[in-house]
Structure 1
Amino acid sequence: MKRITKSIASSTAALLCLAGCAGANKAAIPAPAPQAQAAEVKEAVQFVNGVAITRADVERASRVILSQGGSHQKNSQEKMKQAAQTALDQLTTAELLYQEAAKIEIKDLDQQVEKKIAETKALYPSPAAFEQALKGSGLTVEEMTRNTRKTIAINTFIEERFASKTEVSDADTQKFYQEGLDKYFTKPESARASHILVKTDEKMTPEEKQKAREKAEALLKRVKGGEDFAAVAKAESGCPSATVGGDLGSFGRGQMVPSFEKAVFDMKPGEISSVVESQFGFHIIKLVEKHEAGKVSYDEAKAKIVEYLKAEKVRQAVMSFVDELKSKAKITRV
């Protein structure tokens, strides 16, 4: 199920990327100063119906594309060249969409822009941190505001022109579910557990380690005797999960250290383990629930399938529309 969720996110991100990369160089509201327009023309690498896409635009978008690749190594010249071409293609597409979006009226556009900017600023601990991040991205507040305005306009246009008119039938979702049953709709064996940890480390003497074990045995005796497990975990556990009563949430096989995992999957819900040793120390584990591997039912998966199929239909419709716009547009490479 995680894989289809990831696919949904990728499809949605593709549309948002097109919107987010909208060129910041059109004389829109607020209009750039004449000097800025002249500078943009001088730095242009391409014109889309007379609107400049600048070298700075391409370089900024290229950095985003390269960072999404997940590689921390130095990028090759070929990879940088490919990223620059992808960036230019995305900026061109976004500019064409914005030129269409600018034709529709969005009554609360100013309020939406203000809200989005405020939400972005709230992600940073201080105004200075926000300014620093903005500077690092090579944007001014004015450019960010203008780009946000264009992004909202494009998203609104896509919603009104395509998404609101796109439907997914039950037959479509049923077909996708049946064809993807083995690939997408499986759920692995999983468990939810809480634990109390008495920490140890490699610097401890045998005597200190023995005392840690004895403490764990004493805590085990308390919870086996009826004391509330979560309360003991909050008071005694050396794991950060102590703040939530030792709750580790749900996890599957391969996510915990072997000795811990074996103890968990050998238990029945409600059981408390004996003291379990790992490289982190001594654990007392309470199994909350356990689920066998199996299939995700159609009813469970349907909402995600509808979301995915709708996003795909919208993406395809938008791309077809963009191809039509490109066939009519005047696009000049400098």
Structure 2
Amino acid sequence: MKFYYAALIAKSGRLCYKKPMKKTFFFLLPILLAGAVLAPRAHAGDTQLLDQVIAVVNDEAITQSELDGLLRPLYEEYRQRFSGEKFVQELTEARRKLLNQLIEDRIVYQEAKAKGIKADAAEIDEQMDTFQKRFGAAEQMEAALNAQGVTLHGLRERLERQSLVKKLHDQEVRSKVMVSPADVEKYYNEHPAEFSQKSRVRPRSITLKKSDEAREKGLKDEQAWQKINELRVKIAGGADFAELARESSQDIQKKNGGLGDWVERGGMIEAIDQVLFQLKPGELSEVIETEMGYHLFRVEEVLPESKRSLDEVREPLTAMLYQQKIEERFNEWMDELKKKTYISIR
């Protein structure tokens, strides 16, 4: 429920805008998330199995290729976002979560079979038709499946498995979860900070970087200092801030005439934050020095601290609380199922 705004920070010798990264949840992954989910399932005792078995749930095996298929798209994403040890750590954690997901899916499917739950043939037919429409022709769809070693019959089996898992999940989890208006109001009253918006400003900036030598030795860059003070005199005398920013600024807001996004109090480096939130709309700052260079700011707009009303947040808050209760109930139920399930991770 917390609302985040871009934060202006100093990084790698430049000013940049950085948004918080969303957390990724692994919960009932879609059946077509990578080809491995469509791969044929193997029994633990299959003597012809060539793939490596990495886990066994009762008498059903989970293979390395299944896990690799799920990891493949994440691998590409993580390779772009992380490097070195951080990349290894994030990928290892993703592998752990995905393997646990595969194990839990097996457990739920086996429980559904034990309870005699049946898939809806008409529903499966509709899903098969939907998949075919994505490929345009049945031949193209069959060719794509065959390339992954999957037949149309195999796809149908996978959809039936997914249907059984969903039906049992609805029966054992969703049907037992409810969020009342009293729950919503209680959470709202007990977590006021989550619905409060700190004061915000929208600044316009000009940045002149120090020379490499000045930054490395912690010295004053006389040339950059003199130039930015000259720019300040021009702006104070009526020159157009935006035009001068486009001509002279060396930060990422240059192309926008120095205009940045909304920033909340505490969202910028301290030296800049303290100055910005003392300025009134239209007021020009003194020159601010940081490790990377010299900066001028003018605040364009100011929004005071505020709090969203219960009516404003009721719908998303209800959805959030419902999801929390779903996860809590699922975890309780899964713990019960695991107690009577043989699980071996290899």
2:280 partner SS: coil
Distance in 2 (CA, whole Å) between partners of 1:226 and 1:297 is 42
Structure 2 residue runs of 5 or longer lacking an equivalent are: 5-21, 136-146
2:217 counterpart of 1:201: no
Residue 255 of structure 2 aligns with which residue?
A: 243
8 Å CA contact 1:216–1:282 kept in 2: the answer is yes
| 1:135-164 deviation digits (Å, cap 9, x = unpaired) | xxxxxx8389999x7799479937993669
SS at match of 1:259: helix
Tell me the SS of whatever aligns to 1:175: helix
Counterpart in 1 of 2:274? 262
Q: Is the 8 A contact 1:186 1:293 kept in 2?
A: yes
Residue 280 in structure 1 maps to residue 262 in structure 2: no
1:138 alignment partner in structure 2: none
For normalisation by structure 1, the TM-score amounts to: 0.60
Report the equivalent of 1:157. 166
Offset at residue 272 of structure 1 (A): 1.9
Backbone CA RMSD of aligned residues = 5.4
Q: Which residue of 1 aligns with 2:320?
A: 308
Aligned twin of 1:134: none
How far has the Cα of 1:108 moved from its partner? 3.7
Greater helix proportion: 1
CA distance in 2, matches of 1:210, 1:22: 60
Following superposition, the deviation at residue 311 of structure 1 comes to 0.8
Match of 2:85 among 69, 72, 78: 72
Query: Which residue of the partner structure matches residue 181 of structure 2?
Result: 170
Contact preservation (8 Å) 2:36, 2:68: no
* Alignment equivalent of 1:91, drawn from 85, 88, 102: 102
1:268/1:287 contact within 8 Å kept: yes
Q: CA deviation at 1:24?
A: 4.0
* Secondary structure in structure 2 of the residue aligned to 1:249: coil
Task: Tell me if 1:103 matches 2:119.
Answer: yes
C-alpha contact 1:22 1:91 (8 A) present in aligned 2: no
Shift of 1:253: 4.4
Structure 1: segments with no counterpart, 5+ residues:
117-140
> What's 1:2 paired with?
2
2:192 pairs, out of 181, 185, 188, with 181
Q: Tell me the distance in 1 between the aligned counterparts of 2:322 and 2:185.
A: 14
Tell me which amino acid in the other structure corresponds to 2:148.
E
Identify which of 52, 67, 79 aligns with 2:61.
52
Identity %: 24
Residue 241 of structure 1, CA deviation: 1.6
Q: Partner of 1:13 in structure 2?
A: 25
Distance 1:324 1:3, change over 3 A: farther
Deviation of 1:302 after TM superposition, in Å, equals 2.7
- Cα deviation for residue 281 of structure 1 reads 2.3
Give the 3 Å change call, closer, same or farther, for CA 75–232 of structure 1 in structure 2: closer
Q: Is the 2:54–2:61 contact (alpha carbons within 8 Å) kept by the matching residues of 1?
A: yes
Report the CA distance shift for 1:233/1:42 in structure 2 as closer, same or farther (over 3 A): closer
Q: TM-score, normalised by structure 2?
A: 0.59
- Quote how far apart the aligned CAs of 1:321 are: 5.6
CA distance in 1, matches of 2:40, 2:213: 66
Question: 1 CA distance for matches of 2:109 and 2:52?
Answer: 22
Number of aligned residues: 288
Give the residue type in structure 1 aligned to 2:60.
V
User: In structure 2, what is the Cα distance between the partners aligned to 1:189 and 1:75?
Assistant: 39
Cα distance in 2 for partners of 1:74, 1:51 equals 31
Aligned partners of 1:24 and 1:143 also within 8 Å: no
Q: Which residue identity is paired with 1:103?
A: A
Residues 256 and 179 of structure 1, relative CA distance in 2, 3 Å threshold: closer
Is contact 1:22-1:95 (8 Å) kept?
A: no
Q: 1:189 to 1:41 in 2, by over 3 A?
A: same
CA deviation vs aligned residue, 1:3-27 (integer Å, no higher than 9, x gap): 99xxxx76x8142569769984874
Structure 1 residues 270 and 306, CA, compared in 2 at 3 Å: closer, same or farther?
Answer: farther
